Amino acid sequence: MRILVTGGTGYIGSHTAVELLNAGHEVVIFDNLSNSDIEVVDKIKKITGKSLVFYYADMLDKPALDKIFDQEPIDCVIHFAGLKAVGESVKNPYLYYHNNIVGTLNLIEAMQTHGVTNMIFSSSATVYGTPKSVPIDETFEKGQCVNPYGWTKSMIEQILTDIQRANAWNVVLLRYFNPIGAHPSGLIGEKPNGVPNNLMPYITQVAIGERKELGVFGNDYDTPDGTGIRDYIHVVDLANAHVCALKKIGDRSGLSVYNIGTGKGYSVLEVIRNFEKVNGIPIPYSIRPRREGDLASYYANADKAKRELGWQPKYGIEDMVRDSWNFQQMQGRSVSSEQDS
Ligand SMILES: NC(=O)c1ccc[n+]([C@@H]2O[C@H](COP(=O)([O-])OP(=O)(O)OC[C@H]3O[C@@H](n4cnc5c(N)ncnc54)[C@H](O)[C@@H]3O)[C@@H](O)[C@H]2O)c1
């Protein structure tokens, strides 16, 4: 298939482009490079030995989107483009609603105009809000999101659900748990702007000496070691879930929703210990107060994706911490970063 990957130079989009090319698909990327680098295009080509088409375009620019669809015969859109920093979304909700929602509406309109009716969307486990129990499966009701970023994901899910129903689209909503790791080549990975929001980039920045210590938010949760438990998934496994989800698009199955996680949770301290053991580097940390909105334990029941998509995660926590560190070492220290602790 010929796949349009929006946000395809970003963290998950770039890994998905690699897996799509490896699986024999053709890839067209557009990205406004607001949170990624143009060099990623060459790195994807280097990893795969295959070519792809790149457009520098913003999804807020409707004529630019129309131009891409005029030029490219697209079978399916995999929609990653969006802003994703939770804290920033709390400070500047308008930016998030405007970019993520208006951008997606523009994309939908361009797709309608050009008769493209297949989409796989990057959603998030955050749409479950505070779940009644764990593991979380797809039959759980969506909940109250705790920040504007989460609401953009929940609202886009609703928009796509309604569009699918009204216009006979094929839509797959993939609800990611916690992607970490990097491509084993070390060429592509997660490069957060500023102070990382997430655990793994923070750990690797401490490991490389860019930050003094890791803050662990709360050690009095109702978990075996008191720290929060999350479902970490290797980004290459996550990328492959998109390739598997194309099967649903091919089957013209209407609307499908899948959790994409490993189904196994690790605590913050377990992740730190695994990183230290596998990479031989101590990670200094200090316990800080709980963060508002953080839950004790959050992990997936991912059986539906395994059953219906034939998708199976291949990488374990050791691979995740090794590949994250490999990527950070290939990047080196960022000159512009500030010590925040
Ligand atoms: N990383 C996670 O933990 C996680 C978890 C759940 C869901 N998601 C979702 O997955 C998707 C990809 O996440 P990621 O971690 O790869 O993020 P990322 O920031 O690395 O990638 C997003 C890409 O979208 C581009 N982009 C943003 N706004 C754009 C616009 N208006 N027009 C064109 N391009 C635009 C950015 O430049 C970037 O390259 C996002 O939608 C995110 O919300 C991510």
> Do 277 and 237 belong together in one domain?
no
Catalytic, out of 149, 298, 299, 315: 149
- Asked which of 260, 276, 304 is the last residue of a domain, the reply is 260
Task: Give the chain's domain count.
Answer: 2
Tell me, yes or no, whether 194 lies in a domain: no
pLDDT, residue 337, reads 44
pLDDT for 335 beyond 80 = no
> Do 117 and 217 belong together in one domain?
no
> Do 205 and 272 belong together in one domain?
yes
Among protein residues, the one with the nearest Cα to ligand 1's atom 23 is 7
pLDDT for 83 beyond 90 = yes
Domain around 77: 2-179+233-260
Among protein residues, the one with the nearest Cα to ligand 1's atom 28 is 82
pLDDT for 253 beyond 50 = yes
Put simply, whether the predicted model's pTM sits higher than 0.85 gets the answer: yes
Q: For residue range 170-219, list pLDDT tens digits in order.
A: 999 999 999 999 999 999 999 887 888 889 999 999 999 999 999 999 99
Residues with CB under 6 A from ligand 1: 7, 9-13, 31-36, 58-60, 80-84, 99, 103, 122, 124, 176, 179
Cα 79 to averaged position of ligand 1 atoms, centre (Å): 9
Question: Could you tell me which residues come within 8 angstroms of residue 79 by beta carbon, excluding any fewer than 6 positions away?
Answer: 6, 7, 104, 107, 119, 120, 121, 122
Q: How confident is the model at residue 333 (pLDDT cuts 50, 70, 90)?
A: confident
Share of the chain above pLDDT 70, in %: 98
Nearest atom (ligand 1) to Cα of 190:
20
pLDDT for 339 beyond 90 = no
> Do 173 and 31 belong together in one domain?
yes
pLDDT for 338 beyond 80 = no
> Do 210 and 165 belong together in one domain?
no
Report the candidate in 4, 127, 138 with the shortest Cα–Cα distance to residue 68: 4
Torsion-angle region of 218 (φ positive above 0: left; ψ -120 to 50: alpha; else: beta): left
- Mark whether 149 is an active-site residue: yes
> Do 242 and 321 belong together in one domain?
no
Structure tokens at 38: 């143009």
For the ranges 7-11, 153-157, 239-243, 247-251, the lowest mean pLDDT is seen at 247-251
Beta-carbon count within 10 A of 136 CB: 21
In 219-316, which residue ranges form alpha helices assigned H by DSSP?
A: 235-250, 268-279, 303-309
pLDDT, residue 336, reads 44
Tell me, yes or no, whether 184 lies in a domain: no
Among protein residues, the one with the nearest Cα to ligand 1's atom 36 is 35
